[in-house]
Amino acid sequence: MGVYRITTRFDLSNEAEKRAADYLKSLKHGEGNRFVIDAVLAQIDGDDTRLVEQLRQMFREEIRAIAVSSAATIPVASVEQPTEPQADTSVLDDLKLFE
């Protein structure tokens, strides 16, 4: 048996097709082929187990990427020092209540 090759075109002005094309481009060599084969077989067999597992893996990777990129942009809260000298004396006065 030989190799059967097909060409698939994606309409990049269609958001769903653009996302699919971007995902397939992001896969390592050979992974896109396996993904397409599994998706076709799942459709034929009516068994979406493999496809669902691949989608879960894809979502996990995307969520990790989002979590890492959003963690880098979270501002760190700074502690402000009181600027009024009366704040220090007020705390000291409150401590005297415990004597």
- Residue 18: what pLDDT? 92
The interaxial angle of helices 15-26 and 31-45, nearest 10 deg, is 130
- Determine which helix (DSSP H) or strand (DSSP E) holds 94, and give its type and residue range: helix 85-96
Euclidean distance between CA atoms 60 and 39, whole angstroms: 18
At 18-41, the pLDDT tens digits run 998 998 889 888 888 888 888 888
User: pTM, whole model, 2 decimals?
Assistant: 0.43
Euclidean distance between CA atoms 97 and 7, whole angstroms: 82
Lookup result for tokens 């067999």 = 45
- Longest Cα–Cα distance in the chain: 93
Position 10 pLDDT exceeds 80: yes
Rg over CA atoms, the chain: 29
